[in-house]
Amino acid sequence: MFQHPDAGIVQPVLKGLIDSYLKKHAEVHQSRRTSDDFLTQQTDQLRSRLAQTDQELRKARNKAGVISLDDTKKAYTEQIAKIRQDLFAAEADLAERRAALQEVQRLSPAVAERQTRRRKCGRIRWTNTSVSVPASTCCGEGSRNS
């Protein structure tokens, strides 16, 4: 702390101290204002770039037909589940038909024998509702319609 008995000396020293303080205060706050202005400007520029990027992303999603990643994922999951269900039903139907065919073959050995001969022959002519096999070309038997 500064003390002096002569007020003529204290007044100029105090004025100089106050002026120095005000000058330093202005410098510190001016640089802070400049810094704040710079940061504000940078923040505004980054917000603008972010908004532009977000808009470009929305356009790309719309162009690709993607409304929402979660919605698209859900739709694909549902589609896969439906395909699996249809596949399961088709496999069950196939198994049912195979079982029915085996039962028919078991009950009718003559039908099974004719089918075996037809498979071996390879020269089967298809008509509207039946298969006709010429006697001279298939298994040495006469013409047969099934």
Q: Which helix (H) or strand (E) holds 133?
A: strand 131-133
- Dihedrals phi, psi of 145, to nearest 5 degrees: -110, 140
Residue with structure tokens 């496999």? Answer: 91
Q: Which residues pair with 125 in a beta bridge?
A: 132
Tokens standing for residue 38: 């710079």
Q: Are 99 and 84 in contact (CB under 8 A)?
A: no
The span from the first CA to the last CA of the chain, in angstroms, equals 127
Please report how the helices 69-107 and 109-121 are oriented relative to each other, as an axis angle in degrees rounded to 10.
Answer: 110
pLDDT at res. 142: 47
Tokens standing for residue 6: 């002569």
pLDDT in tens, the chain (146 residues): 778 888 888 888 888 888 988 888 877 777 667 777 888 889 999 999 999 999 998 888 888 877 777 888 898 999 999 999 999 999 999 999 999 998 888 888 766 566 666 655 555 444 444 444 454 544 444 444 44
Contacts of 134 (CB under 8 A, 6+ apart): 123, 125, 143
**CA angle (141 as vertex; 137, 143 as ends), nearest 5:** 75
Q: Are 130 and 118 in contact (CB under 8 A)?
A: no
Q: How far is CA 95 from CA 82, 89, 111, 131, in A?
A: 20, 10, 20, 26
pLDDT at res. 6: 83
